[in-house]
Amino acid sequence: MSNIVAIVGRPNVGKSTFFNRLIQRREAIVDAVSGVTRDRHYGKSDWNGKEFSLIDTGGYVLGSDDVFEAEIDRQVELAIDEADAIIFMVDVESGVTGMDEDVAKLLRRVNKPVFLVVNKVDNGKRAEDAVEFYSLGLGEYYTIASINGSGTGDLLDALIEALPEKEEVIEEDLPRFAVVGRPNAGKSSFINALIGEDRYIVTDIAGTTRDSIDTKYNRFGFEFNLVDTAGIRRKSKVKEDLEFYSVMRSVRAIEHADVCLLVLDANRGFDGQVQNIFWLAERNRKGIVVLVNKWDLVEKDHKSVKEYERAIKKQMEPFTDVPVVFISALTKQRIFKAIETAVEVYKNRSKKIKTSELNDVLLPIIESYPPPAYKGKFVKIKYIMQLPTPQPQFAFFCNLPQYVKDPYKRFLENKLRQRFGFNGVPISVYMRKK
């Protein structure tokens, strides 16, 4: 379970540049994942082998300057509640502003590691100017220039040192299904409908993710943990529609789950916030089932289901091999179908395919449709194997891995899906030097 680090501060101090810098450092090491990362406000980073999730709160603040004040206060309060450590970024060019003082006032009361980071310090004169930030009463500060990365090493050393050790909780090896989605989509009603008059529940265990509730559930001869993000304590201060809040909550649940049941309101559709949560699950390589709730309230004709599903899948491209189940938590319509589908996706995610079978099926296809030649060089794929990871990852061994581009990797991924059925599960395809 990784720690969450939130970056807070007023607009235009360089939070996003710093954020992108940390995320890319990691992405340069890991193979680039096919598909597009749609939102840039959440990512994983690591330093000295310790992994953490990074949230750039600035990416969620929209609106004019007067709206900013109230929004930023809310963001900071949320970050204080939800994150394990906080980076408070200020800008040496503009010096201490009233808004910085407001944020500092909130942060001085906090019982968590807070790092005051003075950005845009790229010469000696500016380093001297940074001294005025002592007046914020947060003690020592770190000077960095996020544009070229100077000073970030010391900051990250200190950050890693201060992050609390996450206890590795030894759990029964039950699959974990997380119910996620934007507020008011019907997550609680869905869970209540499942559990309601249902006498199969074994135990309620307080979730390891200090604020979501796990319910051990036994149905259809299948036992699993249901993780409810809907029941996470609500702060009276927090307006429930705050996008940042839903994403922050979902991060913990998703990282900890095997399959995510993404509940959306049929009347609102697959909107921006739902997409954020979808790509979050996809980027964490989790199984995904989309549940369109409140389907009983939608005006329908004979084409509705097909058209609705087509519209959703358009938004998911290129990862469209995802089951969509139309439910009503209120009338309990198809809620068990939803669970059966989640179980199937879980099985798909843990599916292992024999190397001999992979090669027998795919090599002839590759022979008929080889990767396009690049600069007159021909790529020859000789051998395929599934990697021993919790989710499906495949290595294709070839002579010139660097010349195989994304469209061909997607072609291979589609063939894997057609032949071996990985519905609902992100697949990673890697090219390796033979």
**Which residues participate in the annotated binding site for GTP?**
9-16, 56-60, 119-122, 181-188, 228-232, 293-296
Task: Please give the annotated binding residues, written as ranges.
Answer: 9-16, 56-60, 119-122, 181-188, 228-232, 293-296
Q: Report the phi/psi class of residue 328: left, alpha or beta, with left for phi > 0 and alpha for psi in -120 to 50.
A: beta
List all residues 6 or more positions away from 85 whose beta carbon is below 8 Å from its beta carbon.
3, 5, 6, 112, 113, 114, 115, 159, 162, 163
Using CA atoms, how far residue 142 sits from 19, 108, 154, in Å, is 16, 17, 8
Let me know the angle formed at the C-alpha of 89 by 81 and 135, rounded to the nearest 5 degrees: 100
DSSP E strand stretches across 239-322: 259-265, 287-293
Could you tell me the two tokens for 71? 């929004």
Contact 320, 258 (CB under 8 A): no
Closest to 392 (Cα-Cα) out of 431, 347, 359, 362: 347
Q: What residue spans of 11-151 are helical by DSSP H?
A: 15-29, 65-82, 98-108, 124-129
Distances from the Cα of 358 to the Cαs of 106, 380, 394, 416, in angstroms? 57, 16, 10, 9
